[in-house]
Amino acid sequence: MNKPSEETITQKPAKRIDEHIVEIVSDSGEGAQKAGQTFGNISAKMGNGVWTVEIIPAEIKPPARSPAGASGIRIRLGSHYMTNMGDAADLVVALNEQVLYSRIATDAYKPGTIVLLENKWLTDPNPKIREQYTTSVAEFRENGLIVHELPMEVECLKLTPRPRLGKNMFVLGMLSYIYSRDLEKANTEIHNTFIRKGEKVISLNQDLLKAGYEFAATNLEYHYEIPAWERDTDERLIVTNGNQGLGLGVMLSGMELVAMYPITPATSASHYLADVYDQVGGFVHQAEDEIAAIGFAIGSSYAGKTACTITSGPGLALKTEFMGLAVMAEIPLVICVVQRGGPSTGLPTKVEQGDLLASLYGAQGDAPKIVIAAATIEECVHFVIMARRLAEAFRTPVILLTDANLGTGVQPYPRPEPKAEWLASPIDQSPWNKEIPPYDWDEETGLSSRPIVGQPGGEYVLTGLAHTTNSKVAYDRESNQYSCNMRSRKLASLYSTLKPPIVHGDQEGDMLVVGWGSTLGAIEEAVDKLRAEKHKVSSVHLRFLSPLEPGLEEIFSNFKKVITIEINYSDDVNFPLIDKSNRRYAQLAMMLRAQTLVDIDCWSNVHGQPMQPGLIYNILSQHLETMKGAN
Amino acid sequence: MFGLKGDWSLDIKKRYFTLGNYAGGEARWCPGCGDHGVLTVVQRICRDKQLPPEKTVAVSGIGCSSRLPHYMGTYGFHGLHGRALPVACGIKSRRPELDVWVATGDGDCYSIGTGHWIHAIRYNMNMTVLVFDNSIYGLTKKQTSPTTPIGFKSNTHPTGAILEPLNPLTATLGISNVSFVAQTVDWNPIHLYETIKAAHDHKGFSLINIIQRCPVYSQEVSQFLQDNPENLLLLNHENGIPIADNIMRMFPNQREHDPSNMSEAYNISFNTKLTPVGLLYHNPKVPCYDDLSSKGNDMGVEEKLAGLNKVLDQFAI
């Protein structure tokens, strides 16, 4: 194909669009995620709203050209703030046809979705592959996908003998043309990405980028412009994923230690910290197991340096005994849980909100602790800062729940401006008044101040056994009842400081949707769409789960129906044998029903997929229909 | 020790700690239990070294031995079964200046806490670890422990333990970064004192397996060694545990053993006919993890804020 001149490239008019959802899908190891992240970064730098989510196979080296091996990335970009991954994609770049099947199985595409497909399989020496390819392409077209078979491999071979390694930058080049991205910005991104690999690698990748750009300009009819998102402030933005957000939060909070054990999808938070933590004087301890990780963090916290441990569901299960100790002995501690699908090993790379009840109740006896959930990537940062402060003020472990969707999702948000008051105070080493016992509970609040090792006069023995205010082991009924009362009272006193949540939409109406965690953007997008159609639907999103936020009963009372939308298991009322008397509700619904005595409904699934606005819209529409029928 | 120096001048410290400063609650171990002797020795070493009680932490798991922190006048952490070591390591991680002692047992350390035992040796953080090895679970009333001799009857093996016992010395010696391994007996307070003192002097993770009497559940195991000291092998060396002649005479079997000699240490430990007493292995040059983990713990606010701005700028758009 002929190289076009710069003029022919720029002359084509670009079609203005408000937003697009783009995917790059390939076998694992082909760099689709790197290309997509770079594309997302460039778009954010050009002022677009962006939400990026990775498509991750559960295995490191799944078989090539297999639906289960689909690895890649989705980028939703537009002229407004993006809060979720959206529904069906508009344009997909696929490096083989088989990986598309796993995406089709999750309704990632719709009739009209443009597929830019690597066509080298058409001439593959293996007749089986050739046949698979042609059959699939025909099938895709039959289902309404607009497939363009492109010689990406052939084009890359002009520049490199190993196109498998460079094709992702060629793809980035194509996308850069299609979406009118600034090539200079793309070149800079490539430069920064490959800086450690040397000039030669940088320039090869930049050449591939250019080749992709020119190829698309010459051969593709698609050329769009997505104007920058008009923001009303000029505050600085940063772009991170939620796990990097957790890492930033840890550093901004002044916590100096993260003790962890590798677990998907939480580990990348620690990878990030391991890279930069020394710049703020911190240390990542990779422990021998999940139990040791929390034990190590507890040791540090006990010695006055409140620490953090980061894990996911299986790790949370292993940590429960120590969590009980931290509650019992009133040790401040931050536990971040990046939730994935369960039970057991479950869906390691996929999202679920299945650890809410485990966080609240997964311990011996009554172990009241603070549980909060981040709803956005920005909150992943700020909630860690809040968590440390709550942990120290209330002398208790705080669990911060996020999930795989937030952990791997990438979004621009206002840059946190570091503040000295966010940092942990230096540890108190002044003499401790011997008259004050180590658990000098205030009966009103349950709060007490804590002697820190090094304070002369404060020497006490922390114990996980039932104990008195003096931390003396006590098996009598009064002491145990009293100390349980005091630890529980701390939650009541935190509750008394909370404000009722803000209702999104009108304060009253037909239906109220309640959510928590990463579903915020999708729920509000669905609710907004229904409201635009004059439906009386509102939503409310909870950040505090233990204690629950105040005012819920009153908010609920203004709606005919209250329903939670969650990514965890619940029985469908239409399942055999299920009726109201035995239905197992989604986890937040169960808690809200118990706390408010309101007959709250729920809708949830365990598909391992981030909640999509279109799906929620359909579900809520059905419920509204049913309500109308019942009236 | 008492402020009076060799030249008859007085060196009066602002604070002088007596044994009473290291005494906590009254010990509730059974009469005749070897733990009493270990506690006394630990308190004496604290006094003799004048360790500030507020900078000293006794950490334990669960079991008879793990009650020790309650009987100390220092800070203490009586945590979970098997989990003393991760907590102790965490305490040292950002506060390496604290003096950390760990009290654990054959069940706590060598069974439920096995993973932490192995890895704590690798970390080699500076702490003194006392394993009260009485070859039985005492607090839960006579179950087989990893060091219970084969054939010994317990409530979980009423016809006798069916497995060969675990050898904590060879296991410990086999782990990379091992830096101090000793064995002693609770009924010889002088050897006990010198061994624990040497362990505390060592910068790194010092593990002492203390063969300890349980008069209630496993009397026979240690009685055999008390009654027949020829079953013990005293290890001597100028770099070993210093021992007075009158104590030496109590051990009919002795041998010279250079504690820097790992293969000899392993051979001595492997020979189960004679129970070695003394310093098996010592390597003062193994790096300590607390030196790494505590880096930056003195960083000032300004420097931290500058670092934070730098890391945030990496994500700027």
- In degrees and rounded to multiples of 5, residue B266 shows phi and psi of -65, -45
What is the CATH architecture of A238-422? 3-Layer(aba) Sandwich (3.40)
Cis peptide before A63 (omega within 30 of 0): no
pLDDT digits (tens, 9 = 90+) for A425-465: 999 999 999 999 999 999 999 999 999 999 999 999 999 99
Number of neighbours of residue A416 by Cβ within 10 angstroms: 19
Nearest CA in chain A to B303: A280
Cβ(B66)–Cβ(A277) under 8 Å?
A: no
A395 backbone φψ class: left, alpha, beta (φ>0; ψ -120 to 50): left
Q: What average pLDDT does range B227-253 have in this prediction? A: 94
Judging contacts by C-beta atoms under 8 Å, the chain B residues touching residue A413 are none
CB spacing of B91 vs A453 below 8 angstroms: yes
Nearest CA in chain A to B302: A420
Taking the domains of chain A in order of start, what are their residue ranges?
A: 6-225, 238-422, 428-497, 509-630
Radius of gyration of chain A (CA): 27
CB spacing of B80 vs A281 below 8 angstroms: no
pLDDT at A11: 60
Amino acid at A43: S
Percentage of chain B beyond pLDDT 90 is 93
Task: Tell whether the model's pLDDT for residue A400 goes beyond 90.
Answer: yes
Amino acid at B150: I
User: Strand pairing partners for A259?
Assistant: A285
Put simply, the chain B residues between 114 and 153 with a CB less than 8 A from any chain A CB are 115-116, 118-119
B181 reaches A (C-beta below 8 A): no
Judging contacts by C-beta atoms under 8 Å, the chain A residues touching residue B80 are 295, 321-322, 325, 464
Judging contacts by C-beta atoms under 8 Å, the chain B residues touching residue A325 are 79-80
In a domain, B9, yes or no: no
pLDDT at B294: 98
- In degrees and rounded to multiples of 5, residue A356 shows phi and psi of -65, -50
Residues of the domain holding B99: 19-313
Amino acid at A453: V
CB spacing of A454 vs B98 below 8 angstroms: yes
Task: Tell whether the model's pLDDT for residue B2 goes beyond 70.
Answer: no
What span, in angstroms and rounded, lies between the C-alpha atoms of A382 and B221? Answer: 58
Chain B nearest CA to A268, separation (Å): 16
CB spacing of B75 vs A461 below 8 angstroms: yes
Number of neighbours of residue B159 by Cβ within 10 angstroms: 8
CB spacing of B93 vs A322 below 8 angstroms: no
pLDDT at A4: 47
Nearest CA in chain B to A280: B304
Mutation target among A248, A279, A330, A411 for the B interface, most CBs of B within 10 A? A279
Q: Which helix (H) or strand (E) holds A204?
A: helix A199-219
Nearest CA in chain A to B316: A238
In a domain, B4, yes or no: no
What span, in angstroms and rounded, lies between the C-alpha atoms of A398 and A380? Answer: 14
Q: What average pLDDT does range A316-335 have in this prediction? A: 98
Q: Which residue has the tokens 């279109």?
A: A614
In a domain, B1, yes or no: no
What span, in angstroms and rounded, lies between the C-alpha atoms of A254 and B44? Answer: 39
Task: Please give the CATH number for the structural domain made up of A509-630.
Answer: 3.40.50.920
Mutation target among A246, A461, A472 for the B interface, most CBs of B within 10 A? A461
B299 reaches A (C-beta below 8 A): yes
Task: Tell whether the model's pLDDT for residue B129 goes beyond 50.
Answer: yes
pLDDT at B11: 64
Q: How many CB pairs under 8 A join A and B?
A: 196
What span, in angstroms and rounded, lies between the C-alpha atoms of A137 and A152? Answer: 16
CB spacing of A288 vs B116 below 8 angstroms: yes
Cβ(A159)–Cβ(A208) under 8 Å?
A: yes
A457 backbone φψ class: left, alpha, beta (φ>0; ψ -120 to 50): left
Cβ(B121)–Cβ(B207) under 8 Å?
A: yes
Task: Tell whether the model's pLDDT for residue A162 goes beyond 50.
Answer: yes
Judging contacts by C-beta atoms under 8 Å, the chain B residues touching residue A321 are 80, 83
Nearest to A303 among B58, B91, B312 (CB): B91
Q: Which of A179, A222, A187 is nearest to A79 (CA)?
A: A179
Per-position b or e across B266-279, b if 16+ CB within 10 A of its CB: bebbeeeeebbbbb
Judging contacts by C-beta atoms under 8 Å, the chain B residues touching residue A279 are 307, 310-311
- CATH fold match for the domains A6-225 and A509-630: no
pLDDT digits (tens, 9 = 90+) for B80-106: 999 999 999 999 999 999 999 999 999
pLDDT digits (tens, 9 = 90+) for A486-535: 999 999 999 999 999 999 999 999 999 999 999 999 999 999 999 999 99
- Domains in chain B: how many in total? 1
pLDDT digits (tens, 9 = 90+) for B16-29: 999 999 999 999 99
Q: Which helix (H) or strand (E) holds A42?
A: helix A32-45
3-state secondary structure A104-144: HHCCCCCCCCEEEEECHHHHCCCHHHHHHHHHHHHHHHHCC
Nearest CA in chain A to B23: A459
Angle, CA A504 vertex, CA A503 and CA A510 arms, to 5°: 80
Chain B nearest CA to A240, separation (Å): 7
Number of neighbours of residue A257 by Cβ within 10 angstroms: 26
Token pair recorded at residue B315: 């994500």
What span, in angstroms and rounded, lies between the C-alpha atoms of A622 and A609? Answer: 21
CB spacing of B312 vs A281 below 8 angstroms: no
pLDDT at A2: 46
pLDDT digits (tens, 9 = 90+) for B204-222: 999 999 999 999 999 999 9
Start-to-end CA span in chain A (Å) = 65
Nearest to A281 among B59, B299, B311 (CB): B299
Judging contacts by C-beta atoms under 8 Å, the chain B residues touching residue A452 are none
What span, in angstroms and rounded, lies between the C-alpha atoms of A253 and A301? Answer: 14
Q: For domain A6-225, which CATH number applies: 3.40.50.150, 3.40.920.10, 3.40.50.850, 3.40.50.10320?
A: 3.40.920.10
CB spacing of B317 vs A41 below 8 angstroms: yes
Mutation target among A296, A415, A421 for the B interface, most CBs of B within 10 A? A296
Cβ(A545)–Cβ(A588) under 8 Å?
A: yes
B67 backbone φψ class: left, alpha, beta (φ>0; ψ -120 to 50): alpha
Cβ(B129)–Cβ(B205) under 8 Å?
A: yes
DSSP letters spanning A328-368:
HHT--EEEEEEE-B-STT-BTTS-----HHHHHH-SSS---
Angle (deg, nearest 10), helices A163-178 and A199-219: 50
CATH of the domain at B137: 3.40.50.970
Nearest to B77 among A237, A279, A462 (CB): A462
Percentage of chain A beyond pLDDT 70 is 98
Task: Tell whether the model's pLDDT for residue A546 goes beyond 90.
Answer: yes
Token pair recorded at residue B312: 């945030």
Nearest CA in chain B to A288: B119
Indicate the pLDDT class of residue B264, thresholds 50, 70 and 90.
Answer: very high
A282 backbone φψ class: left, alpha, beta (φ>0; ψ -120 to 50): beta
Judging contacts by C-beta atoms under 8 Å, the chain A residues touching residue B293 are 257, 283, 285
Judging contacts by C-beta atoms under 8 Å, the chain B residues touching residue A416 are 312
Indicate the pLDDT class of residue A235, thresholds 50, 70 and 90.
Answer: confident
Chain A nearest CA to B126, separation (Å): 15
CB spacing of B77 vs A459 below 8 angstroms: no
Q: Which helix (H) or strand (E) holds A214?
A: helix A199-219
Token pair recorded at residue A385: 């800062």
Task: Tell whether the model's pLDDT for residue A78 goes beyond 50.
Answer: yes
Task: Tell whether the model's pLDDT for residue B55 goes beyond 90.
Answer: yes
pLDDT at A585: 98
Q: What average pLDDT does range A415-428 have in this prediction? A: 96
Judging contacts by C-beta atoms under 8 Å, the chain B residues touching residue A282 are 296
Token pair recorded at residue A368: 């009241």
Amino acid at B103: A
